Amino acid sequence: MTTGSTSPIPGRWARAYVERLWPAVAVALAIVALALLSLPGVRFEFSLEDLFPRDTPQAAAHQGAMARYGRDDGGIIVALEGDPFDPRLAELERRVAEIPGVRATASAFSWQVLDAQEPGLVGSRGLRTGDDDVLSRDLLVASDGQAGAVLVQIDEALNHHAGREPIVSSIEAITASIPGGWHLGGVPVIRVAYVRAMQRDLMRLLPLAMLVSLIFLVDALRDWRHVLACAGVLVLGTALTGSALVISGSPFTIFTPALLAVVLVVGTSDLVHLVHRFADRFEVDDATSTAAALADTLREVGPVCLATSATTAVGFLSLLSTTIPQIRRFGAMTAAGVMLVFLCSMLLLPPLLLRLGPPQRRATQRAQRDRARMARVGRALVKQPALGPILVLATLAFGISGGLMVRSDPHILGDVRSTAMAASNDFLEAHLGAVLPLDIHLELPDGDLLDPDLLAAVAELESWLRAEAQVGQVVGLPDLVRQGWEALGEDGLPPTRQAAAQVLLLNDMMDPSLTAGLTADGTSLRLRTRVRDHGHRATMDLVRRLELQAGPLLAQHEATLHITGVAWLAQEINRTLTRQFAGSFVLALAVVGALGLLVYRRWGLVLIALIPNALPLLALLGLMGWTGLGLQPSTAMVFSVALGIAVDDTIHFLAAYGRLRRCGLSAEQAVVETIATVGRTLVDTSLLLAGGFAVFAVSQYGAMALFGQLTAFCVLVAAAADLLVLGPLLVLFDKKAPNRKKRSLQP
133-185 per-position pLDDT tens digit: 888 888 899 988 899 999 999 998 888 888 999 999 999 999 999 999 999 99
Upper half-sphere CA count for residue 149 (Cβ side, 13 Å): 30
What is the architecture of the domain spanning 75-185? Answer: 2-Layer Sandwich (3.30)
* Cα 284 to Cα 744: distance, rounded to the nearest angstrom: 12
Give the contacts of 112 (CB within 8 A, at least 6 positions apart).
Answer: 124, 125, 126, 127, 510, 511
**What confidence score (pLDDT) does residue 115 get?**
76
Q: CA 53, 54, 56, 60: dihedral to nearest 10 degrees?
A: 110
Sign of CA dihedral 30, 36, 40, 46: positive
Burial 410-438 (b: 16+ CB within 10 A, else e): bbbbbbbeebebbebbbbbbebbbbbbbb
CA 184 to chain centre: 25
* Cα 52 to Cα 33: distance, rounded to the nearest angstrom: 36
**What confidence score (pLDDT) does residue 505 get?**
82
* Cα 406 to Cα 662: distance, rounded to the nearest angstrom: 45
Does CATH place domain 4-42+193-380+389-404+571-733 in 3.40.50.2000? Answer: no
Give the contacts of 607 (CB within 8 A, at least 6 positions apart).
Answer: none
**What confidence score (pLDDT) does residue 656 get?**
83
Mind spelling out the 3-state secondary structure of 341-391? HHHHHHHHHHHHHHHHCCCCHHHHHHHHHHHHHHHHHHHHHHHCCCHHHHH
Which of 507, 535, 287, 291 lies closest to 411 in space, CA to CA? 535
Amino acid at 257: P
For residue 67, with 0-12 CB atoms within 10 Å meaning exposed, 13-18 middle and 19 or more buried, which class applies? exposed
Collect the ranges in the chain with pLDDT lower than 50: 1-5, 742-747
**What confidence score (pLDDT) does residue 745 get?**
47
Which of 566, 584, 340, 551 lies closest to 457 in space, CA to CA? 551
Q: What is the DSSP letter of 4?
A: G
Distances (CA, A) of 9 to 206, 297, 579: 36, 10, 49
**What confidence score (pLDDT) does residue 577 get?**
64
CATH of 432-564, one of 3.60.21.10, 3.40.630.30, 3.30.70.600, 3.90.1170.50: 3.30.70.600
For 368, list phi and psi in degrees, rounded to 5: -65, -40
Which of 645, 641, 630, 625 lies closest to 702 in space, CA to CA? 630
Sign of CA dihedral 118, 120, 121, 122: positive
Count of CB atoms within 10 A of residue 587's CB? 17
Upper half-sphere CA count for residue 746 (Cβ side, 13 Å): 16
Secondary element (H or E) of residue 70 = none
Q: What is the CA radius of gyration of the chain?
A: 32
CB 165 within 8 A of CB 195: yes
The ranges assigned to domains in the chain are 4-42+193-380+389-404+571-733, 75-185, 432-564
* Terminal CA-CA length for the chain: 22
Residues in the chain: 747
Instruction: Tell me if 75-185 shares its fold with 432-564.
Output: yes
**What confidence score (pLDDT) does residue 744 get?**
46
Helix, coil or strand: residue 393: helix
CB 272 within 8 A of CB 370: no
Helices (H) and strands (E) in the chain, counts: 25, 11
**What confidence score (pLDDT) does residue 611 get?**
83
* Cα 719 to Cα 717: distance, rounded to the nearest angstrom: 5
**What confidence score (pLDDT) does residue 583 get?**
61
Amino acid at 280: D
**What confidence score (pLDDT) does residue 2 get?**
43
CB 205 within 8 A of CB 698: yes
* Cα 112 to Cα 661: distance, rounded to the nearest angstrom: 85
Count of CB atoms within 10 A of residue 166's CB? 13
**What confidence score (pLDDT) does residue 384 get?**
87
Give the contacts of 225 (CB within 8 A, at least 6 positions apart).
Answer: 356, 360
